[in-house]
Amino acid sequence: MESRAQPEISEAQPAIELLPFEPLPALRSTALLDDGSLADSRGKRIGILIVTFNAVTTLTKVLKRITPNVWKNVAEIAIFDDASQDATYELAMGLKTFRQLEKLQVLSNSKNLGYGGNQKAGYRYFMEKGFDIVVLLHGDGQYAPEILSHLYHPIVGDEADAVFGSRMLKTYGGPLQGGMPLYKYAGNRILTTFENHALKMNLTEFHSGYRAYSLHALRNIDFSHMTDDFHFDTEIIIKLQHQRYRIKEVPIPTYYGDEICYVNGMRYARDVARAVRRYKQTRRSIQCFPEFQEYFVHYPIKHSKASSHYYARQMLGSNQEVLDIGAGEGFFAEELAANGNRVTGIDNRLGPAETSRFERYFTVDLEEGIAGVIRQLDGQRFDRVLLLDVLEHLRRPEQILRQTHEVLKREGLLIVSLPNIANIYVRLTLLLGRFDYSERGLLDKTHLRFFTRKTARRLLESNGYSIVQEEQTVIPMELVFGWSPGNLLMRALNRVLAFATWLFPGLFGYQLMYVARVTTSPPPDRE
């Protein structure tokens, strides 16, 4: 981003009037233009971000359509020119200089950042300057500057964190009356219906570019890997919804003039559908896509019958003192606590997202063992100790198994899950000459040890445990296909897999689940 040199204003130059207010004839109603109360900033620092590209014929009209009350109440109007090929930047600088528009700032990207990239640059600009609210306005005149106050007023009044203008609401006659082509209307409605269904939302329109955001909300949105293309607007809705920010819609008029449209409709529809799909796959931990990576859970909670978490819940019971080694964010601990259990967590991470899930939480390097935590526990012992998806990540799993003797009550139980390297999937890939590591699953690239039913039993028994219960989980097709556990096909497939796993546990078992009790003192550590 660069701000080109601005021409100096001679002190002797006579004062020039600000831009005259020139609303469109259709928007000159008294009720609409009497926006004094709506425009009131109430002490909030409001910025208007005008994104432009080749807007030399429309930009002046856009600025003249901003009401005097909005000019009075906003702290800054920033034009972000995205390396236009025409004289958009020079025009904007001329307006600022010769009209003496102190609140107008003009910035030019040294190279074209794209529709989404230009927005990101603008939002970062206002965040760095400590603003409270930003309104996105297009420089081509497609959205009505006359109603800017309608966009930011709900955020000023703390009624919303984001406000979207909707052309589908009928206040101004609706989209078709405003000149929206029928094919665009149909495409908009189809895409919006799809997005509402997929994201469990109820917006009348996803595809308006007229928006206002609380900058507090935007500061908590990770822009780093989001697209620079036109479906940036969809990605930001997805993130606001995921993070439970309050979204409000307000009616806006539809206007189609002779502005040039740079959006390829078919490509845009494909990109929108792709963004939704990538989000859902990331959220369900099927695959981690970079633009939504902050929502990826490496070990998601599995709710289908015969999954590892299904068996763990059964094995653990309720109203127990639980030590969860490898607790992660605490998603499973939250479910255990809801069942009356009191959970103490241990993990490599600095801390869980929500500490209230745990009675206590310890951060240690599990590769070095838990001796330090045992000292801090000062003799406290537990009814249940969980080692779910932990031992396969350690070079010396024997160390933690031996140390766990010291924290189990006399009748306490150790609950362990391990991946079954002899699963049919691995056998088939080996038959094809492949052994490819992945982000998660049986061949998770962070696995350092691999186990079969025989070697898993040997690991526990050689470290002073007797196995009192053994189960094999079914292959988690809910993660493979991204289906809900309640899906009828998913439930039917689970039944078939459960039967196959019962018949051939070593072949179809996905994870090996054990309940074990201490029987002997652990063998001495040979190191």
pLDDT at 75 over 70: yes
Domain boundaries, the chain: 25-294, 308-518
pLDDT for 379 equals 92
Q: Which CATH number fits the domain 25-294, given the four candidates 3.40.50.300, 3.90.1150.10, 3.30.70.2170, 3.90.550.10?
A: 3.90.550.10
Q: Which residues contact 454 (CB under 8 A, 6 or more apart)?
A: none
pLDDT for 173 equals 84
pLDDT for 522 equals 61
pLDDT at 7 over 60: no
Q: Is 352 exposed, middle or buried (0-12, 13-18, 19+ CB in 10 A)?
A: buried
pLDDT for 256 equals 73
C-alpha 70/C-alpha 52 separation (Å) is: 20
Question: Can you give the three-state secondary structure of 89-125, one letter per residue?
Answer: HHHHHHHHHHCCCCCEEEEECCCCCHHHHHHHHHHHH
At 120-152, the pLDDT tens digits run: 999 999 999 999 999 999 999 989 999 999 999
The tokens describing 259, both together, are 């502005």
The tokens describing 5, both together, are 């040199």
At 304-362, the pLDDT tens digits run: 777 888 888 889 889 999 999 998 878 888 889 888 999 999 998 766 655 568 999 99
- Closest CA relative to residue 325, chosen from 417, 448, 458: 417
Phi, psi of 410, rounded to the nearest 5 degrees: -55, -40
E strand or H helix at 362, and its extent? Answer: strand 360-363
- Closest CA relative to residue 250, chosen from 291, 214, 203, 286: 203
The tokens describing 403, both together, are 């140390």
Amino acid identity, residue 339?
N
Amino acid identity, residue 388?
L
- Closest CA relative to residue 485, chosen from 281, 283, 303: 303
Locate tokens 């939480």: which residue? Answer: 361
| 3-state DSSP helix/strand/coil % of the chain, to nearest 5 | 40, 20, 45
**Distance, CA of 290 to chain centre:** 10
Q: Which CATH number fits the domain 308-518, given the four candidates 3.30.2270.10, 3.40.50.720, 3.40.50.150, 2.70.98.10?
A: 3.40.50.150
pLDDT for 392 equals 95
pLDDT (average), residues 37-56: 96
C-alpha 207/C-alpha 496 separation (Å) is: 43
